[in-house]
Amino acid sequence: VMGSQILKEEIAEVFEMLEAIGDGKADKHRQICEDVIRMLKDGAIRTQDRVREIADCVKGLSSRPNFAPCNVMMVAESVVRTLRVVADERGVALSVKEPAALPSILADERRIFNAIYNLVNNAIPEVSAGGSITVSGELETDGKRIHLTVADTGRGMSHEVRESLFSPRAISRKVGGTGLGTKIVKDVIDVHGGTVWVVSEEGAGTTFHLCLPISCLGLR
C-alpha cells in the first residue's frame, strides 16, 4: 500500500515534466498509470482485509462489523473485476446479473466483498473452459430481504463435500486449499442476520444462495 502511494507521487512528477515539454500524449498515459496504481492499491488493501478475515476465522474471533449503506450488486461487480483476469486465463466467463435496481442494504461492505469473493474464487477452478459463473440478485417478495445467488456450471459437489460446508471441517478440493472459504462466508452472513445454503449435484454445477436483510440495525 505504501509502495503504491510512493509510485503515484513519483509518476505525478514525471508527468509534470512531460507536460512541460509539450508531449500531447501525457494525459492519456497519466490516466492509464493512475488506473493501474489504483488497482494495485485496492488489491493490496483487499488482501489485508482477507488475511484479517482468515485470522478471525481461525482464532474464533471477529472484529466488530461496520454497518453502513451498501449496494450489494456493486460489491459483486467489484469482485468480478478483481477476479476476471484469473477467470479469463481458465476460459471461464464471469458476470453479474441484476434484474432490476436493488435497494441498498445496511451491511459491512468489506465482509460482503470477502463472502462473494470466496464463493467466486472457489468456483473458478471447478468450472471447465467455456463454462460460466454468474452472480445474481433480486428483492424477495416480502421486500425485506435481498436474495443473492452465485451459480456456476462446474462439476458440482458430492454429498460429503456439501455436508461439510460452512463448518470448520469443510473439505477443500483445491491443491493447498484450507476449506476455510465457505466457513468465512457463513460467518459473514450470520453477522448480518442472514441465511446461506447451497444446491449442488455432481456433474450439474453449484449454486450458493445468500439471503440478506435490508436492515441489520441492532445486530452485532
Question: Edge-to-edge, what's the strand order for the sheet holding 93-97?
Answer: 93-97, 132-139, 145-152, 206-213, 195-200
Alpha-carbon torsion angle 6, 54, 126, 36, nearest 10: -10
User: What percentage of the chain has pLDDT greater than the value 70?
Assistant: 84
For range 151-173, the mean pLDDT:
77
Would the pLDDT of 24 be above 70?
A: no
Q: 212 with 70: CB under 8 angstroms?
A: no
The burial class, CB within 10 Å (0-12 / 13-18 / 19+), for 26 is middle
pLDDT digits (tens, 9 = 90+) for 182-206: 888 888 899 899 999 999 988 889 9
pLDDT digits (tens, 9 = 90+) for 65-79: 889 999 999 999 999
pLDDT digits (tens, 9 = 90+) for 90-135: 999 999 987 667 889 999 998 899 899 989 998 999 999 999 999 9
Among the residue ranges 22-26, 45-49, 125-129, the one predicted with the least confidence is 22-26
**Best CA proximity match to 218, nearest among 194, 189, 186, 192:** 192
Among the residue ranges 8-17, 111-120, 145-154, 168-177, the one predicted with the least confidence is 168-177
Give me the DSSP letters along 54-66: HHHHHHT--PPP-
Q: In whole numbers, what is the pLDDT of the chain averaged over residues?
A: 83
Give phi and psi for 155, each to the nearest 5.
-80, -5
